[in-house]
Amino acid sequence: MRLKYVEAVLSIGFALAFIAWTRLSAPGPLAPNADPSSSGGPFGLDLLLPAPVAYPRSAAGQLAEAFAILTHPLIVLAVTAAWVVYAYISRMRRLSVSLAIAATGIPVQFLIALHLARPTPGATFTDSIAAFAHAYPNAHITAMTLASWVLVTLARAHHRSTMVAAGTVLGYAAVVMTAVSQWYMGLATLSDLIGGFLLGAAFANLALWVGGIDAILTSWVNRRLSRASSEKRAAVIYNPTKFDDLSLLRRRVAAEVRATGWRPTVWLETTPDDPGRSMARRALEAGVDLVMVAGGDGTVRAVSSQLAGTEMPMALIPAGTGNLLARNLSIPLDTDAAIRLALHGHLQPIDMVTCTFDDGEERFVVMAGMGLDAQIMESTDSGLKKVIRSGAYAVAAVQNAVPVPFTATITLDDAPPERRQMVMALMGNVGTITAGMTLFPRAVPTDGMVDLLLANPGKVVDWARLGAQILTGQEMEGFTLTRARKVLIEADRPVPFELDGDTAGSTRTLRAEVQDGALHVVVPR
């Protein structure tokens, strides 16, 4: 848990460290020589790493000078001042105050340097516009430390781990490159650079302390808050086991919802006993305008089965292992992109398939099957799925490499029934399965048809053909691949079956019928 006053402690700590370092670096009783440039700095650091002799007209010298001009404290001050104005106009008052305090660190550095009057250790670049007359504390390092602190703070406000990591690396890299540039040009010694960093860090943490880090991050989240109010409201049905940080998901959704001007979101959590059915009914009763489903394929199936036929828009925030419906509808797997799409995408009616079996009736939106595929799903270790994700299905497939065939009668629409032997009967409303492999080349969820694959590979070559069909997306000889509006499978014995990757027990009869355009899903335009 973050300490409440951590910025205050850091600010005071860096300030005291700067004062102590200045006492050691500046001329005085602790520095043996009157000329600080020849004293070697505290503990002889400057003697251990003396500045090299760099020539302005060399390629390295020109590159260092160009970088020093780009990171000039006056440029950093101007950019920070512009951010102060932008934050104030955008109603981010705490952020504007924090940036203003950070900006004052630059003129304070100038006054301290003017008072101490420590000359630069070299004379080669002293006529450069990037050079300052006084070396301690180093102006460039102070300014870039302040700038990097601001960059990392704004990256944290986005609540995205990749952006925080990128902002942190970029900020630290900029400080290090600035230090190398100043040292290489002979404009600062190591003790000058350390003093500049300590002063910049003290002001950066002071800015965050006074502004209030939590208030700053919250104001940044609300920066795109729509000025036009809306009565629309969304519900999020989420599976808590699919998210390591639920508070992060809530902040992400809240940011996009506020930016769109919608009312606060209704949050509905699934349970092990109910993967989303009653939550979907509660969302309908609440009269929301959109249902977001944050979870895996099982959560999507449970919610969509209740929304089918209601014309309630459903949006997907993929968080499972397969995310098959999202992949087939080109919905982004990135959480932030999926949330933005949910609020600004295009509505597409898609088909659902109603399955009737021995013990009841269910709907599926992706795939269903009897035989081998159900055995693989049942054998897949849930713990292994968290580690190697879709690779866990491959492990389960190896465990079921010698399946026992069963005999079934297949009836398609009004055609005469056919009796077949098989190890798997798989039906698909979409074509692509895990890892982007195409199992049904012609399947689309808007054609009013369900595709059917009957497989009975008895030899190694048959398994190779099945693998080739999956990998290439082309129909291979030896496998029945057909489609119909209604499918009836009557087996000679109870056979395991699955719906959208969830095992559903065993059945001798499985009847499937397509419901045209029963579900309205938000998809990319």
Q: What's the start-to-end Cα distance of the chain, in Å?
A: 42
What pTM did the predictor assign? 0.56
**How far is CA 182 from each of CA 21, 22, 126, 128, 401, rounded to the nearest angstrom?**
19, 19, 11, 12, 66
Written as tens digits, the pLDDT of the chain (525 aa) is 344 467 788 889 999 999 998 888 755 433 434 344 445 666 566 655 666 666 667 788 788 888 888 889 999 899 989 988 887 776 667 778 888 888 999 999 999 989 888 888 876 777 788 788 788 899 999 999 988 876 776 665 544 555 556 667 777 888 889 888 888 888 888 888 899 999 999 998 888 788 765 545 544 444 444 444 568 999 999 999 998 888 889 988 998 898 888 999 999 999 999 999 999 999 999 999 999 999 999 999 999 999 999 989 999 999 987 899 999 999 999 998 999 999 999 999 999 999 999 988 999 999 998 988 777 666 554 543 443 344 444 444 444 455 678 999 999 999 999 999 888 898 999 988 765 677 888 899 999 999 998 887 655 455 555 655 555 445 545 455 789 999 999 999 999 998 887 888 899 999 999 999 999 999 998
**How far is CA 488 from each of CA 362, 451, 509, rounded to the nearest angstrom?**
15, 13, 7
- Are residues 487 and 411 in contact, defined by beta-carbon separation less than 8 angstroms? yes
CA distance linking residue 450 with residue 427, whole number of Å: 6
